[in-house]
Amino acid sequence: KAGVTQTPRYLIKTRGQQVTLSCSPISGHRSVSWYQQTPGQGLQFLFEYFSETQRNKGNFPGRFSGRQFSNSRSEMNVSTLELGDSALYLCASRAGAGETQYFGPGTRLLVL
Amino acid sequence: GESVGLHLPTLSVQEGDNSIINCAYSNSASDYFIWYKQESGKGPQFIIDIRSNMDKRQGQRVTVLLNKTVKHLSLQIAATQPGDSAVYFCAENSKGIGGSNYKLTFGKGTLLTVNP
């Protein structure tokens, strides 16, 4: 099976812009979670989607949003970008609750 | 509140030695723990997991130990190889909104360096 894929892999934006990142889960996986990874804060949970519904959400401002499509592919959006949003954004999928999460390679976002 | 922390941010070992990476967690309700390995430029890679009804689980060259009494988790790597050099994260799986059993909380990570 193909693993979790994320696009784009690298992105450069300027403050105030918005960005959309995409994630395709492992085939058959209905759950997609998003994480932000920075050197200072480590891996932080953003949100999880299951069958197009957000099931849980981390402590991030409303500028961070996401959605999931009927084919389980997911997108996350960050509006009004700030310098502190520069990070590696990771997507992970799993078959169901309590199952192992498998990560994609991440999208590295740089905000100038 | 929930937290998962690592005792050692860096660990340097000689090739062939055994490595032990430790992790403390604070959510006693967590019922599932996972170790991930992250190499530079890549996403975290699943290594091994353990459920809270177990205290030990072995994989290929890796063993995870869970001590629920002191809320401690460790990853042991036998005969460490240069390819094991990476950042290792422990994560605990805790219930989210509505009881869905899933949110992963990660520790800060330990950088393992294997010297040839």
Chain B residues closer than 8 Å to A59 by CB: none
**What is the SS3 string spanning A51-107?**
CCEEEEECCCCCCEEEEECCCCCEEEEECCCCHHHCEEEEEEEECCCCCCCEECCCE
**pLDDT tens profile B15-62:** 999 999 999 988 888 888 999 999 988 999 999 999 999 999 999 999
Q: Over range A56-71, report the average pLDDT.
A: 95
C-alpha A15/C-alpha B31 separation (Å) is 41
Rounded to a whole number of angstroms, the distance from the CA of A105 to the nearest CA of chain B is 4
Partners of residue A48 on adjacent β-strands: A33, A56
Chain A residues closer than 8 Å to B103 by CB: 45, 48, 56, 58
Chain B residues closer than 8 Å to A105 by CB: 41-43
**pLDDT tens profile B69-113:** 999 999 999 999 999 999 999 999 877 555 555 678 888 899 999
CB contact under 8 A, B43 and A98: no
Taken as a whole, chain B contains a residue count of 116
Scan for tokens 């960005």, then name that residue.
A19
Q: Over range A29-38, report the average pLDDT.
A: 94
Q: What percent of chain A has pLDDT over 90?
A: 82
Average pLDDT of chain A to the nearest whole number: 94
Chain B residue with CA closest to A50: the answer is B100
Q: Over range A40-47, report the average pLDDT.
A: 88
